[in-house]
Structure 1
């Protein structure tokens, strides 16, 4: 199996090594020259809970007819705080809070041999995973050579264990337990455990180095969180091979092409950078031949830091760029839901899965509270006409929701349908025209309704008799100073209302209000929510805004603020959070015309 070495996650780096010969009867990607690539991205929860199901029921069923590449996020834990990425970030913070450890130049590294993941395995003479080191660090001190790493002697008998050691041990424990639960082949399991052990010891070394210099740079932080995807992909590779799939672990830490050293890292990277990266990703995966590549979502050093430029959604972006580089037939993003719904099914019992949706609609839903796909990530695939399909790991046979490339004839042709009045005018012709118009209007319905909670409404009124032209400029300068993102805005010459997220610390928010009062009087309302009605065909549906606000009024839902989206596919208003569930159900039933089973006529009293 051809592999990529992982120099930043092992004690000694090595070039790409020649893999062991593929065992006979291993299940491989389709060798049909006409077979198209599919890129399947699995989130942390899916990898953490359903790794075996992914191997047996998803990947195995696709590779006969397609060439499949898998992208994995870092494994999630039982709670958000125990997710691998959060634990890695926590360990980095803990390292900077501890006393510096002593150093020694003596010490050695245990010899390694090349193996499944290209980085080698410990030659400790044991082939039985049941004899592998216990999970607690305190019981792994019998061999001096196993406790001395790259010249560091981490602990002495009279030293207190640094706080980050506990966190690293927790990361190790989670991955080793997952391996033992899912992998039955003892040779594969032993090699995987050795590899996970080396990864965690690399992390300890890295954190010790950070303690010594008392600093973790943005690039170093990227490398720390990138370890989560590497460990996740190694576990998934082992699980696939254990079940007869010829999988190959692929690390992308050295895939980023050279870039101009004078690039302004404070600005967003140009599209050319991502286009070049996509080509490099595609070329690397093609090297896997018929093996199924298991690809780290982390793709190495990026100008200005991966976290700063992309954020924690870089795994989704990586999968989209990979789909572009491979000219894939489809990008599949696997979650724990059946697709994109007309409303949050946890709050709206009558919510339905949307079969097809436009990129603009998906972007609006993402921004206003629904977890779909980040618009920038989506753009990378859509601009190359690659559909994105949202599917459910627990329901692999479901069709999911397709985000279709934005062409003139996608989603619905209702907007282009015209019903001219036939000549000459007769009673029958007018009746036929009315029926056709009604049928057309039925097609032009909103796509979904969503809610974004934890919102604050800021109202600012100018305190000057003669309004200065700098009124709005001063407000936006203040918002920029505090890094505040405005979700909705409504303005007049002397008054401005804004909806912002309630995510600022109290002291920072108080300073924001104080600075805004230099421009005028300020009042604010907390515990608010943004209700958004989204639909590409709404621009052609007369009266939809009136229906929305009338429905809310009949339901005794007070509207604090109204905003029409510039895209013409979104109508939003701000309501009180306590009314959010009721408002969602009201609008879902009235404007999307999806009623409870057996319900007829107008909105029923069950909502009130």
Structure 2
């Protein structure tokens, strides 16, 4: 004997019902079958809405009856060819009775629980009768109304089952019934007076479990529109997958915390008889689904992650509670009297406070009555007034084997902390089947995805990037990421997605990831942007492992870093302005990064893609001390002076450098030495020294007039004007067999930058193209400095440096 239950989505229309009949037909060839069906689609909701409308306007209620009737008659027309008239008459009779009830509601202006139960019962009465008659044309079937078998008390909307009488009724009926398939409606029952009652939320599942237990069924199958219980809600966590096997206790924990394919009371009757429950998909019947049993196959410590939203946290606290018995009793007694369900409980070991989680719509009532209960203690200031926190959610990690695995709670809270998910309260039973935490509701999606990645996707880490600036560097960065996407996934186990892109005018976002083959067209049609709007959108999306990428040289963008870091959003930047700003701001950004566990990486601030800052950090962190730094840090200036001679003009070489992407958009930043000064300042600070930009001595070779120009055209005009001066500088160096290099030096806690004549025996002499070179003199590298040399400018190498920082975050 098997019991098969089909939910509302499985019987929403005639096409779906045909699938149900095919499943039942196949199952009935092996054993006798009891089929429990829900109402068609949203019929129960529509019936109750009609009853409420009947209080105000009977005509609206009548219209709703006609809408419901139309659906049922359409299904009859499409499914039943024989005995149609008898089916029509029965269904029409039920709708006439429903109309009489609505008219009674309108006339009496009264809608009691008893009447609501009667109204809501019509959905299952209709669906089970129609489906049974459709089945009769295909295989041996009969129909029975479940309210004639399931006996309850008189709590009309959430009735308690009298299992003694119910089990006798069910066994007597099935023992005397020879049909292969019996179709029954779920959800509905009756009291001793034969008045209709209902089994409450999840009542059809509960009905199925009642029948399965009474009949000692071989298996209870719950057919729905998903292929089992998932590791997390698949509409929120796209990577969630169906759990093959799970224990009764694990299933109860997950269903209690919001896994909607199954309701907790459903499991109880089957659990007592140890009847296996299988969750199956009506639309993918070949899928094995999830098997719930007493001895599931062990597969991982954590079986699933679930959550409940719209939770309020009620806190009772005060020094007057310590050592005084009875406070907990009075708290729970008051909530019980008001029929307020407690979902979550935690108490400080000092007895100073008790926190309970309840549904948000009960919070105001709970506070009112608890303040009354403890009014004397509150008035005497022994305890504080009841404190209520709203807009919360409970997230739960569930697994029966968790108690045998150390460190799971540590992994859970560490992962949440890294993503700035604030924990308001924690509960863990001594059985260790469940670790629950109360968090802000807005963080629920991020928390679910974070924990799912932690416990189920450890091989693949997802990074969500938000990119500002898609000029030379930004465009190359996106191209490199597009090219390497599969490589990163296969070899580094990183799934890197671009969720947002902005330039100075437009921005676009896609929570599923922006196509890197079409982002330019999408951005052209994007919405207007601002730095603040982009930041607010990143916050609103609230993804785990989020990283803000700054490919600009913009001061206003740099000023936003602290805001991102405070949201635990990592920052990767080639923009030197932030790290070369005031020492206070530099230290503040570092501090915020540590406090909020948000990476702040800026390798490309010095040397583009060269590992200069990373090497320096490793030296300092390993205990080495930096005494002196000598460097050529401007790829653009090195390119300029390597290509400038008596056959060229200084202006033409600078224009070429700008064209090839070696300079900033404003080339004066490079040629004035400001850019190099910022770089040596950053290296000095990363070495542990406290310097400001004004402490760097800048020996500029540019004429004052050139430095004071306000636009690029004026700047280039001034370079042409002073061509003779630049040629003199070149000739002077050449006459000494020297080459011109713009050198940055840090020694004795002081720094300077300027153009120098480099002799042939110096390491800088043969530095070609746009290459950079850095010499670190340290305790360990005292005589022969540590040397780093390579391409130090250009969009491609800068983009690769940004890319490398992103990978560092992914590998952390």
Instruction: Using structure 1 for the length normalisation, give the TM-score.
Output: 0.68
After superposition, the Cα gap between the structure-2 partners of 1:67 and 1:595, relative to the gap in structure 1 and judged at 3 Å, is farther
Aligned equivalent of 1:59: 24
After superposition, the Cα gap between the structure-2 partners of 1:354 and 1:600, relative to the gap in structure 1 and judged at 3 Å, is farther
1:44 equivalent to 2:44? Answer: no
Match of 1:532 among 396, 407, 419: 396
C-alpha deviation, 1:593, in angstroms: 4.8
Aligned residues of 1:72 and 1:229 also touching (Cα < 8 A): yes
C-alpha deviation, 1:195, in angstroms: 2.0
After superposition, the Cα gap between the structure-2 partners of 1:600 and 1:388, relative to the gap in structure 1 and judged at 3 Å, is farther
After superposition, the Cα gap between the structure-2 partners of 1:396 and 1:306, relative to the gap in structure 1 and judged at 3 Å, is farther
Aligned equivalent of 2:251: 362
Deviations 1:97-142 (A, max 9, x none): 56xxxxxxxxxxxxxxxxxxxxxxxxxxxxxxxxxxxxxxxxxxxx
Match of 1:226 among 106, 121, 143: 121
Aligned equivalent of 2:353: 495
After superposition, the Cα gap between the structure-2 partners of 1:165 and 1:604, relative to the gap in structure 1 and judged at 3 Å, is closer
1:190 equivalent to 2:107? Answer: no
Q: How many residues align?
A: 462
Q: Distance in 2 between matches of 1:54 and 1:287?
A: 29
Secondary structure in 1 matching 2:26: helix
Match of 1:172 among 66, 69, 72: 69
C-alpha deviation, 1:376, in angstroms: 2.5
Match of 1:446 among 292, 296, 302: 302
After superposition, the Cα gap between the structure-2 partners of 1:412 and 1:601, relative to the gap in structure 1 and judged at 3 Å, is farther
Aligned residues of 2:159 and 2:199 also touching (Cα < 8 A): no
Aligned equivalent of 1:589: 453
Q: Distance in 1 between matches of 2:18 and 2:119?
A: 29
Aligned equivalent of 1:421: none
Q: Distance in 2 between matches of 1:460 and 1:605?
A: 45
Aligned equivalent of 2:438: 574
Q: Distance in 1 between matches of 2:221 and 2:322?
A: 57
Match of 1:254 among 148, 166, 172: 148
C-alpha deviation, 1:177, in angstroms: 2.0
Aligned equivalent of 2:45: 86
Structure 2 counterparts to residues 36-185 of structure 1, below 5 A = 37-49=1-13, 50-76=15-41, 83-97=42-56, 162-180=59-77, 182-183=78-79, 185=81
Q: Distance in 2 between matches of 1:265 and 1:501?
A: 22
Aligned equivalent of 1:353: 242
C-alpha deviation, 1:557, in angstroms: 1.8
Q: Distance in 1 between matches of 2:129 and 2:343?
A: 40
Secondary structure in 2 matching 1:293: strand
Aligned equivalent of 1:101: none
Deviations 1:471-499 (A, max 9, x none): 43443344334432222222232222232
Aligned equivalent of 1:402: 291
Aligned residues of 2:223 and 2:280 also touching (Cα < 8 A): yes
Q: Which moved more, 1:194-203 or 1:473-482?
A: 473-482
Structure 2 counterparts to residues 261-410 of structure 1, below 5 A = 273-302=162-191, 310-404=199-293, 406=294, 410=295
C-alpha deviation, 1:193, in angstroms: 2.3
Structure 2: state its 5+ residue gaps: 462-488, 498-543, 546-812
Structure 2 counterparts to residues 381-530 of structure 1, below 5 A = 381-404=270-293, 406=294, 410-412=295-297, 444-462=300-318, 464=320, 468-492=324-348, 493-504=351-362, 508=365, 511=368, 515=372, 518=378, 519-530=383-394
C-alpha deviation, 1:208, in angstroms: 3.7
Coordinate RMSD, CA, aligned: 3.3
Deviations 1:473-528 (A, max 9, x none): 4433443344322222222322222322212386x466357546745234333222
Deviations 1:367-414 (A, max 9, x none): 11111433322111121121111000000111111110x3xxx1246x
After superposition, the Cα gap between the structure-2 partners of 1:280 and 1:603, relative to the gap in structure 1 and judged at 3 Å, is farther
Deviations 1:408-443 (A, max 9, x none): xx1246xxxxxxxxxxxxxxxxxxxxxxxxxxxxx5
Aligned equivalent of 1:120: none
Q: Distance in 2 between matches of 1:460 and 1:177?
A: 56
C-alpha deviation, 1:586, in angstroms: 1.7
Give the number of the structure whose alpha-carbon radius of gyration is greater: 2
C-alpha deviation, 1:447, in angstroms: 0.7
C-alpha deviation, 1:581, in angstroms: 1.7
After superposition, the Cα gap between the structure-2 partners of 1:586 and 1:73, relative to the gap in structure 1 and judged at 3 Å, is same
Instruction: Using structure 2 for the length normalisation, give the TM-score.
Output: 0.52
Match of 1:550 among 386, 397, 414: 414
Q: Distance in 2 between matches of 1:486 and 1:603?
A: 41
Structure (1 or 2) with the greater strand fraction: 2
Match of 2:94 among 199, 204, 223: 199
Secondary structure in 2 matching 1:591: helix
After superposition, the Cα gap between the structure-2 partners of 1:240 and 1:86, relative to the gap in structure 1 and judged at 3 Å, is same
Deviations 1:58-111 (A, max 9, x none): 1122121122221111112xxxxxx2212222333344456xxxxxxxxxxxxx
Match of 1:564 among 428, 431, 437: 428
1:240 equivalent to 2:169? Answer: no
Secondary structure in 1 matching 2:273: coil
Secondary structure in 2 matching 1:289: coil
Secondary structure in 2 matching 1:504: helix
Structure (1 or 2) with the greater helix fraction: 2
After superposition, the Cα gap between the structure-2 partners of 1:359 and 1:284, relative to the gap in structure 1 and judged at 3 Å, is same
Aligned residues of 1:222 and 1:305 also touching (Cα < 8 A): no
C-alpha deviation, 1:216, in angstroms: 5.3
Aligned residues of 1:218 and 1:305 also touching (Cα < 8 A): no
After superposition, the Cα gap between the structure-2 partners of 1:529 and 1:291, relative to the gap in structure 1 and judged at 3 Å, is same
Q: Distance in 2 between matches of 1:601 and 1:513?
A: 55
Aligned residues of 2:229 and 2:279 also touching (Cα < 8 A): yes
Secondary structure in 1 matching 2:120: helix
After superposition, the Cα gap between the structure-2 partners of 1:282 and 1:479, relative to the gap in structure 1 and judged at 3 Å, is same
Aligned residues of 2:121 and 2:198 also touching (Cα < 8 A): no
